[in-house]
Copies of this chain bind each other. A is one copy, B any other.
Amino acid sequence: MNGDENTVFIGSKETMNYVMAVVTQFNNGSDEVVIKARGRAISKAVDVAEITRNRFVPDAEITDIVTDTEEIPIEEEDRTTNVSSMEITLKL
């Protein structure tokens, strides 16, 4: 785990937006970038890591992939729902 520095959160934008965010972090001198996603965005997080490595930063390696389950409160209801989360660490 680390702070939000060097972290790219995957949301609903196009995959290549996040690839460029990761590549930019490496180009700015980071030697480690963490890609975080929840729920359906997890598939996109894996695409981002794979595309970054295969096309843009061939020296980057996936050094760690961690999954977890997070409890998310449901708005206006008095209960929570579970959602899977994933963190992928890319390192030079």
Contacts and interface: CB of A to CB of B under 8 A. Distances in A.
Contacts of A65: 65, 67
A49 B62 CA distance: 20
Nearest to A68: B50
Interface in A35-92: 39-43, 46-47, 49-50, 54, 62, 65, 67-69, 82, 84, 86, 88
Contacts of A88: 67
Contacts of A46: 42, 67, 84, 86
Contacts of A54: 69, 82
Contacts of A67: 46, 49-50, 62, 65, 88
Interface of A: 39-43, 46-47, 49-50, 54, 62, 65, 67-69, 82, 84, 86, 88
